[in-house]
Amino acid sequence: MEDRLSFSKIHIIEWLKPANRQTGEDGDRRTGEETYRELKTLIPASGSRMDVILHRVSSRATFIKRLGRIEEDFRASRRVPLLQIETHGDDDNGIGPSEEDGLTWPELMEALTPLNIATGVRLPVVLAACHGIWGIKMAQPMERSPFLALLGPNRKVYPGEVVRGMRAFYRGIFEHKDGSRAVQMLNNIVDPDKTTFGIFNCEQLFRDVWEGYFADAMDEKWIAARVEHAAESAKAKRPRSDSELADLRVYMRNYILDHPARFEESRRHFFMIDLYPENAARFNLVATPAPAVAPASGA
């Protein structure tokens, strides 16, 4: 995969708690707006003509709707977006100002995937939320990739850390034209002794998940459990004879153990090679399975 992230428009979605006029309760610090203002100064000073747009949303419904508008904007302009999401986050539950009006990680995956599909797997996402890096839970190799790369913190972060960190990150992008340096500058300003913000690309995630799958595929109990699950599912649809079930078990075992074929099916779907044939060269991965387990033979 290419090492450089290429984008030509920045969309900042700010999904934070507003002040409550009735109770006098303060709202969240407007970190998205502060980053937007920094960029409106930094971008012209760097000689770039890149656009930056601030979107304010107040609910999961308006968040999802705004993603749709960003997709429409891309289809009209063909300018690949960088998406920065300013909100609250939880490593187990997902994102949003509250659990009642938020998005779980699977729901966020589903919401982001259409935009990444439209861009042909070119969408970088900055998840400026507590524990935002756990958005990597979204990437499931049997589904479409929800992003090209994800940047986010691995712990609770405070508004001042986010604002200072994003300022340093974009300075690295626009002044130094160096994404790796930008991430380093971000981490140095937040905590020079620890790596608070991590970045993962979809290829790295795909490899990691499949390595785990190949390790599991050496375990006869794991294989047998999957075969029996398939047999039980088949019986639930309609009655099956013992002979039919025996043939099905042989077929499923051999299907599971055909690692190169399963890997290639997953690669083509996850990286959207069926939609964008040029992605075969961009994501040129080959299966490296564990030592082979003997396939089953028919009776």
The tens digit of pLDDT for each residue in 218-273 reads 788 988 998 999 999 999 999 999 999 999 999 999 988 888 898 999 999 999 99
**Paired residues of 84 in beta bridges:** 12, 126
What stretches of the chain adopt beta strand conformation (E)?
Answer: 9-14, 51-56, 81-86, 89-90, 94-95, 124-128, 149-153, 197-201
pLDDT score of 259: 86
pLDDT score of 1: 45
Q: How many CA atoms lie within 13 A of 149 on its CB side?
A: 20
Whole domain around residue 79: which residue ranges? 9-201
What digits encode the pLDDT tens for the residues 111-162? 999 999 999 999 999 999 999 999 887 778 889 999 999 999 999 999 999 9
State the first-to-last Cα distance of the chain, in angstroms, to the nearest integer.
Answer: 45
Residues 157 and 20 in one domain: yes
Residues 109 and 234 in one domain: no
Does residue 290 sit within a domain? Answer: no
Sign of the Cα torsion 107, 110, 116, 118 reads negative
Does residue 298 sit within a domain? Answer: no
Residues 125 and 176 in one domain: yes
Nearest to 215 by CA among 267, 285, 142, 291: 291
Residues 43 and 161 in one domain: yes
Q: Is 114 left (phi over 0), alpha (psi -120 to 50) or beta?
A: alpha
Cα 41 → chain centroid: 29
Does residue 4 sit within a domain? Answer: no
Residues 17 and 128 in one domain: yes
- The mean pLDDT of 1-14, rounded to a whole number, is 80
- The mean pLDDT of 73-101, rounded to a whole number, is 93
Residues 95 and 43 in one domain: yes
What digits encode the pLDDT tens for the residues 165-201? 999 999 999 998 888 999 999 999 999 999 999 999 9
Q: Is 131 left (phi over 0), alpha (psi -120 to 50) or beta?
A: left
Nearest to 143 by CA among 124, 116, 178: 116
- The mean pLDDT of 264-293, rounded to a whole number, is 88
Does residue 138 sit within a domain? Answer: yes
Residues 116 and 152 in one domain: yes
User: Which of 170, 201, 232 corresponds to the end of one domain?
Assistant: 201
Taking 3-state DSSP, the helix, strand and coil percentages for the chain, each rounded to the nearest 5, stand at: 50, 15, 35
Structure tokens at 95: 């994102």
Residues 99 and 231 in one domain: no
DSSP 144-209: --S-SEEEEESS---HHHHHHHHHHHHHHHHTS--HHHHHHHHHHHH-TTS--EEEEEHHHHHHHH
Q: pTM above 0.85?
A: yes
Report the b/e string of 213-250 with b at 16+ CB within 10 A. bbeebeeeeebeebbeebbeebeeeeeeeeeebeebbb
C-alpha to C-alpha distance for 54 and 174, rounded to whole angstroms: 18
pLDDT score of 99: 80
Does residue 60 sit within a domain? Answer: yes
For the cut 70, the answer to whether the pLDDT of residue 299 exceeds it is no
Q: If DSSP codes are grouped into helix, strand and coil, which group holds residue 50?
A: coil
Residues 48 and 169 in one domain: yes
pLDDT score of 293: 56
Does residue 193 sit within a domain? Answer: yes
**Under a CB-based contact definition with an 8 Å cutoff, are residues 43 and 50 in contact?**
yes
Does residue 297 sit within a domain? Answer: no
pLDDT score of 215: 81
Structure tokens at 237: 């649809």
Residues 150 and 248 in one domain: no
Domain count of the fold of the chain: 2
User: Which of 160, 176, 201 corresponds to the end of one domain?
Assistant: 201
- The mean pLDDT of 98-122, rounded to a whole number, is 94
Residues 157 and 238 in one domain: no
Residues 55 and 101 in one domain: yes
**Residue 121 belongs to domain with CATH number:** 3.40.50.1460
What's the mean per-residue pLDDT of the chain?
90
Does residue 276 sit within a domain? Answer: yes
How confident is residue 280, by pLDDT bands cut at 50, 70 and 90?
A: very high
Length of the chain: 299
User: Which of 174, 201, 228 corresponds to the end of one domain?
Assistant: 201
Lowest mean pLDDT among 251-255, 282-286, 291-295: 291-295
